[in-house]
Amino acid sequence: MSLSDEYFERSLKVSPGGVHSPVRAFKSVDGRPIFFKSASGAYLKSVDNKEYIDFCQSFGPLILGHRDPEVSGYVREAIETAWSFGACEPYSLELAEWITSKLNFIEKIRFVSSGTEAVMSALRVARAATKRNKILKFEGCYHGHADSLLVKAGSGLAGESTSDSAGVSEAQARETLTVPLDDENAFLKVFETHGKEIAAVILEPLPANYGLLIQRKEFLENVVATARKYGALVVFDEVISGFRVALGGMAEILGIRPDLVTYGKIIGGGFPVGAYGGRTDLMNLVAPQGPVYQAGTLSANPVGMRAGLATLKKIEKENVYSVLEKRTENFCNEINSMAATIKAPLQAIHYGSIFWLHRKTEKPIRRITEIPPDHKPQFAKLFHALLTQGIYVAPSGFEVGFLSLAHTDEICQKALVGFRSAIKEVYEV
């Protein structure tokens, strides 16, 4: 028995499923989790002293890689200064000033401790501002585990919703309407029925929590225009895409000015963080200035604030987006070339430095219903073959992968050798 197996057996006795976040349990890939003890750059090291090239990167925050040396200096300095204040400090002020000076659609910002908390708070603001109760979301877009967002569409297009999780009341589920992505007609019909009740439309402008479902710009523009026609606010969930695909995220790329935006991951430099921001009039509704209550003991933690600002400044200084865009494109092209050579039905798609592996399809996958039915078991086989080659990707076929600045051309080439062996093992007849 490996040391990871021993740790997992112990963990099962003290934690639900042996983990502190479901996907870590490896259930989606029919396996047992690896326990890791250290990380550096593009690499993870397990408790069994096996080294893996890491394309999960903590599910996206580590755009510079694990423990970037430059950011580490600020982290060490921060830890020597203070761990937490529970009071006003200059570090969150500096990060807030930097973000609001760079992004014209973020006029004010409030830091919290997670993406879930950011989304929950932003929607509370939207309901207060519009004096409406319903929220509209899209199938395949994940916005954290707040009760009202753990829902899926009911049998009727604009009918009641049911929850994806036990413990969520029917009353809460009914406040959320869900429609398919890439379907203007379905979206419009819901607004024709419920338009005067909808406080906000929330969407990932780059859906990346149920595969990488790249949307048509025209569809996103129609969503925004329709919402505004009916007086609903537009909330962009850029917890993944924010500061990952561009400094201003998808809002910048699309040229769309959302009313509110939620962030997380990269803005904390690898430490727990979330944030929501947007128009001044909306953000002024938040306590203590306004009637919308939201608070947090560890909000704007000084270590995360300093790590986040150091990360963002380095991203801008070193032109990280163009470097990673080219590197990720080349990486995916190489995987696709390998697959084509042995006629493997595998495809790697990407947007910026985010990539996704799935069964090859003739048309781009934009809805969850278009994901091939055998995707999950096929990915599970590839996942374990990659592990054998010393390559770690997220342990679910519906999670995306990430390149970081630490994934040099040399490391990518080393990884591609492992990918070639894994693809042959899984697909070659």
CA atoms of 322 and 353, how far apart (whole Å) = 9
183 included as an active-site residue? no
The residues that bridge with 359 in the sheet, in sequence order, are 346
Catalytic residue, chosen from 43, 52, 142, 351, is 142
Helix ranges, 349-428 (H) = 375-388, 409-427
> What is the residue-wise DSSP string for 391-409?
EE--SSTTS-EE--TTS-H
Rounded Cα–Cα distance for residues 382 and 415 (Å): 14
Cis? peptide before 61, omega within 30° of 0: no
Among 190, 247, 250, 240, smallest CA distance to 215 is for: 250
Q: Which one of 54, 210, 265, 392 is the catalytic residue?
A: 265
Handedness of CA 356, 381, 376, 169 (dihedral sign): negative
Residue 195 to residue 228: CA distance in whole angstroms? 10
147 is catalytic: no
Q: Within 10 Å of residue 79's Cβ, how many Cβ atoms? A: 12
Q: Are 271 and 289 in contact (CB under 8 A)?
A: no
> Is residue 200 within 8 Å of 143, Cβ to Cβ?
no
- DSSP-assigned letter for residue 66: B
SS3 156: coil
- DSSP 8-state class, residue 265: G
Task: Write down the residue that tokens 């001044």 correspond to.
Answer: 280
Helices and strands (DSSP H and E) totals, the chain: 13, 16
Q: Among this protein's residues, is 237 annotated catalytic?
A: yes
Closest-CA residue to 177 (of 139, 142, 137, 147): 137
From CA 233, how far away is CA 200, in angstroms rounded?
4
Written as one letter, the residue type at 128 is A
What is the rounded end-to-end Cα distance, in angstroms, of the chain?
32
The active-site residue, picked from 237, 276, 351, 392, is 237
Burial code of 298-309, b = ≥16 C-beta within 10 A, e = fewer?
A: bbbbbbbbbbbb
Are 420 and 408 contacting, i.e. CB atoms less than 8 angstroms apart? no
Active site residues: 142, 237, 265
